[in-house]
């Protein structure tokens, strides 16, 4: 049974940290409560065992694979507790004893006092154990994974056995969620002291399994010492942004949203965005599109208004005079028609959601605005920053901060573990599923955010709540019977 000190999804802490922050401050926090780093290691091993018994209650045998650092030390402590509890334990260490560092040496010596055997990695039996415990690399991984570890990680993944990773799956970058070569695919991961930010974005969802957290008795002291600039945000945290409506309210209370887009062959992108805006509660929604697209967009959705834009006769003042919120980009294209409408939006001082082709147009005419929301996927983010998609995904946290620094407002970097940055904090949203990998999903999100802006939410509130609604509805659609 898990102690009160161990938390699991969805009750994990909100603050996220870089590995360096943990390393710099955990010792000071330990001193404040009267313990040592080795004392923390013993607590970590005990927490691992509790998670092991909770997550794999039927397991009676375990293969523990330890590395050379403190992550390996945690594995030694776990192994000793498991052996004392009557489990069959095989412990295999990478390298020689002389390669061990820090408090891991003390943990290894304690294991030997318990008559524990240390096998070489070559003798590891991947067939017999019920569970494999990954205590190989931990958060100290920098750069590439050495060949000996790559081979071992491949063996773990091919063994078809449940895996518990200690602190972080070996091979996964704890700061970015990037995988340089290969990473353990764990069924569960138990994290210590502070949650690592790499566990919640990029490739992490494929490798962490269920995440557990143990503060090791220093969580509050650590938080007081170390400021976090990255936070998890969940729907219960922010659902209060939308207040119950007064029984005497009318459509004029909830804003006028102008959706600009729907070029040749792409009317339905504007339809998706505008309908999402309506469904999220904007009082009035109008679409500016090509004249020939009006019937397609408005058919079956009589609540929408529309105006066909012929550049020869178009008075751009309608953008400023009619609307309270703008959305530009869904199906916009990049021709003269799109560029002209985009220029009108750039000249406006209205709150604006910028998506899709409008983000590509922004590259040629970069601007910095405080009151807009940019919603790029990794490809659009790469275009905006003049780099490759691989560079974006290599460090999504740096990418979203750079986008905000260059263009202002609130930036929503979409993807697995969507990141939202307002220049002060980065917020992580873990909602959604692979079923959302289809055309039109981004148009719907831009419409949701615009609809929330129209009802008086600020850009950060509309973005965090909009991403939540978008992903949670997708998740509910997958679980509905």
Read off the pLDDT of each residue in 297-326 and give the average, rounded to a whole number: 91
Are the beta carbons of 373 and 352 closer than 8 angstroms? yes
Read off the pLDDT of each residue in 58-81 and give the average, rounded to a whole number: 94
Query: Which tokens go with 419?
Result: 């990141």
Lowest mean pLDDT among 79-88, 105-114, 118-127, 185-194: 105-114
Residue 260 or residue 143, greater confidence: 260
Read off the pLDDT of each residue in 88-109 and give the average, rounded to a whole number: 84
What domains are there in the chain, each with its CATH number? 6-228 (3.40.50.10260), 236-479 (3.40.1190.20)
Split at pLDDT 50, 70, 90, the class of 228 is: very high
What pLDDT shows up at residue 99?
65
* Average pLDDT over the chain, rounded to an integer: 94
What pLDDT shows up at residue 317?
85
Would the pLDDT of 30 be above 70? yes
Radius of gyration for the alpha carbons in the chain, expressed in angstroms and rounded: 26
> Which contacts of 401-407 are long-range, i.e. CB under 8 A and separated by 24 or more positions?
401/426, 403/374, 403/376, 406/366, 406/368, 407/362, 407/366, 407/367, 407/368, 407/369, 407/374
Scanning the structure block, which residue is given the tokens 């012929």? 310
Split at pLDDT 50, 70, 90, the class of 138 is: confident
Would the pLDDT of 63 be above 90? yes
What pLDDT shows up at residue 104?
87
Would the pLDDT of 276 be above 60? yes
Q: Phi/psi zone of residue 95: left (φ > 0), alpha (ψ -120 to 50 degrees), beta? A: left
Would the pLDDT of 102 be above 80? no
What pLDDT shows up at residue 371?
96
Split at pLDDT 50, 70, 90, the class of 480 is: low
Scanning the structure block, which residue is given the tokens 């691992």? 48
For the segment 361-393, what is each residue's pLDDT rounded down to a tens digit? 999 999 999 999 999 999 999 999 999 999 999
What pLDDT shows up at residue 466?
98
CB atoms within 10 A of CB 476: 9
The pTM is what? 0.95
For the segment 400-441, what is each residue's pLDDT rounded down to a tens digit? 999 999 999 999 999 999 999 999 999 999 999 999 999 999
List the alpha helices (DSSP H) in 56-175.
70-84, 104-113, 147-158
The torsion of the CA quartet 289, 295, 299, 301, rounded to 10 degrees, works out to 30
């Amino acid at each position: 049974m898990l102690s009160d000190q161990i938390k699991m999804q969805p009750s994990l802490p909100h603050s996220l940290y870089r590995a360096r922050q943990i390393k710099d401050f955990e010792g000071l926090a330990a001193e404040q409560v009267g313990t040592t780093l080795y004392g923390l290691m013993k607590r970590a091993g005990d927490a691992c065992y509790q998670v092991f018994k909770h997550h794999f209650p039927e397991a009676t045998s375990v293969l523990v694979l330890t590395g050379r650092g403190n992550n390996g030390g945690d594995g030694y402590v776990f192994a000793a507790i498991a052996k004392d509890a009557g489990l069959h334990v095989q412990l295999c260490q990478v390298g020689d004893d002389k390669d061990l560092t820090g408090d891991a040496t003390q943990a290894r010596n304690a294991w030997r006092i318990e008559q524990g055997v240390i096998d070489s990695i070559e003798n590891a039996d991947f067939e017999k154990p019920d569970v494999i415990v990954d205590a190989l690399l931990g958060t100290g991984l920098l750069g590439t994974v050495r060949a000996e570890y790559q081979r071992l990680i491949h063996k773990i993944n091919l063994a078809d056995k449940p895996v518990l990773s200690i602190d972080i799956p070996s091979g996964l970058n704890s700061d970015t969620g990037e995988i340089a070569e290969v990473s353990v695919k764990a069924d569960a991961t138990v994290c210590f002291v502070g949650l690592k930010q790499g566990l919640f974005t990029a490739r992490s969802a494929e490798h962490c399994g269920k995440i557990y957290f143990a503060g090791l008795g220093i969580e509050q002291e650590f938080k007081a010492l170390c400021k976090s600039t990255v936070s998890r945000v969940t729907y219960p945290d922010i659902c209060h942004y939308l207040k119950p409506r007064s029984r005497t309210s009318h459509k004029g209370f909830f804003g006028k949203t102008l959706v600009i887009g729907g070029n040749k062959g792409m009317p339905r992108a504007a339809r998706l965005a505008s309908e999402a805006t309506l469904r999220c509660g904007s009082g009035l929604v109008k679409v500016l599109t090509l004249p020939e697209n009006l019937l397609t967009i408005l058919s079956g959705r009589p609540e929408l208004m529309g105006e066909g834009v012929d550049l020869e006769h178009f008075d751009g003042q309608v953008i400023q005079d009619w609307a309270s919120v703008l959305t530009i980009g869904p199906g916009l294209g990049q021709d003269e028609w799109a560029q002209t409408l985009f220029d009108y939006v750039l000249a406006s001082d209205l709150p604006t959601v910028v998506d899709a082709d409008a983000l590509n147009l922004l590259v040629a005419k970069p601007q910095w605005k405080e009151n807009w929301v940019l919603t790029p996927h990794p490809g659009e983010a790469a275009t905006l920053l003049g780099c490759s998609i691989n560079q974006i995904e290599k460090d999504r946290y740096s990418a979203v901060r750079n986008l905000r620094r260059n263009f202002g407002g609130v930036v929503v970097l979409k993807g697995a573990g969507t990141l939202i940055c307002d220049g002060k904090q980065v917020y992580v949203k873990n909602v959604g599923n692979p079923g959302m990998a289809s055309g039109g999903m981004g148009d719907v999100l831009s419409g949701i955010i615009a609809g929330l802006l129209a009802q008086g939410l600020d850009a950060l509130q509309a973005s965090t709540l909009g991403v939540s609604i978008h992903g949670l509805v997708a998740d509910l659609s997958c679980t509905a019977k």
